[in-house]
Amino acid sequence: MSATTDVAPRPAAALVARRTRGRLLVVAATVAVLAVVVVASLALGVRDIDVATVWQALTHPVAGNVDHDVVRDQRVPRTLVGLAAGTALGIAGTLVQGVTRNPIADPGLLGLNSGASLAVVVAVSMLGVSSPLGFVWFAFAGTAAAALLVFSIGSGQPVKLALVGATVTALITPLITLVLLRDPEAFNMYRFWAVGSLTGRGMETITVLWPFVAVGVVLAGALAHRLSMLALGDDVASALGQRVGVTRGLAAVAVILLAGTATALAGPIALVGLAVPHAARRLVGTDYRWIVPLTAVLGPVMLLGADVIGRLVLPHSELEAGVVAAAIGAPVLVAVARGKTVAGV
């Protein structure tokens, strides 16, 4: 009897170990894909540059070398923006879906994009702000204000959060249109920002905003286990000793930091926060301790990949990353709406 008792747990332990190894391989493969995408982002574009020249530009730049200047002054900032914004959008979407238990939730659903857009429009039209570094603070503040409004009215209830977010978006959108129609100059500047792009942001913007992404990522990692319990339902999570209200409050802070920074950096890019969490669940299951780190890698893979595709799809021109990302994410939205996605949200 004791021998049977000693042997019985082994198959379960072997299954857990095998599953863990499989998940580690998935994460490692995704990191390798990200490395390839980063190299492509530095090398490909209207002006193609070979990898050896890219490496030389990064390690031993030559003054006056046009290829080196393109890599260091244009593509390095662009790639870093894609890495930061993609990571932030992927994790923010994961947190929003985990908190609301809504499979079609992303930061845009909660009105965060519309809040950022209204703040940028006000900054351009009424305060005369014209630089990307000026936009970022207003976009960040608008995202934070919209999130605080939605979470305070929604009272942490999944259905109410989604409804309040949709209501906030419906209220803000006409205000944005009204301001833009009255100010053609503001419309032209807003149009460039709102399409969602990784271009036109310098290293100073990244230097200012990356700490917000870092704090949001750390907070999301700390909440991962709590989100796994929350996925079982509020009653079960409470029975397991979790303070559900505290979890949702901390998740709201992380979403504000991540979605606010991503929107400030790259504009209101849609569907990355929707598609990436679903892809992560298909690859590693429903445990948020694996979903959160994987979305931190898949997010920049999708956003930087969209940016690279946008550079190559049109000869001697570019499509903005936001346009390509929306085209990639739209089939995911359709699949989710048709119920062809995994459980666990």
Tokens 């351009």 map to which residue?
124
CATH of the domain at 10: 1.10.3470.10
Neighbour count for residue 209 (Cβ, 10 Å): 25
Residue-wise pLDDT for 203-237, tens only, equals: 888 888 889 999 999 999 999 998 888 877 777 77
Distance in angstroms (rounded) separating the CA atoms of residues 81 and 58: 17
Q: Which two tokens stand for residue 186?
A: 């503001």
Residue 343 lies in a domain: no
Helix, strand, coil % in the chain, rounded to nearest 5 = 80, 0, 20
Average pLDDT, stretch 43-68? 90
Q: Which two tokens stand for residue 151?
A: 């979470």
Residue 275 lies in a domain: yes
Residue 292 lies in a domain: yes
Residue 234 lies in a domain: yes
Residue-wise pLDDT for 137-180, tens only, equals: 888 889 888 888 887 887 656 677 778 888 888 899 888 888 88
Residue 264 lies in a domain: yes
Residue-wise pLDDT for 295-324, tens only, equals: 999 999 999 999 999 988 887 778 888 889
Q: Domain count of the chain? A: 1
Distance in angstroms (rounded) separating the CA atoms of residues 327 and 305: 12
Residue 190 lies in a domain: yes
Q: Which two tokens stand for residue 293?
A: 């780190």
pLDDT at 79: 95
Residue 107 lies in a domain: yes
Residue 345 lies in a domain: no
Q: What is the DSSP letter of 199?
A: T
pLDDT of 42 > 90? The answer is yes
pLDDT at 161: 75
Domain containing residue 154: 2-337
pLDDT at 339: 63
pLDDT at 132: 67
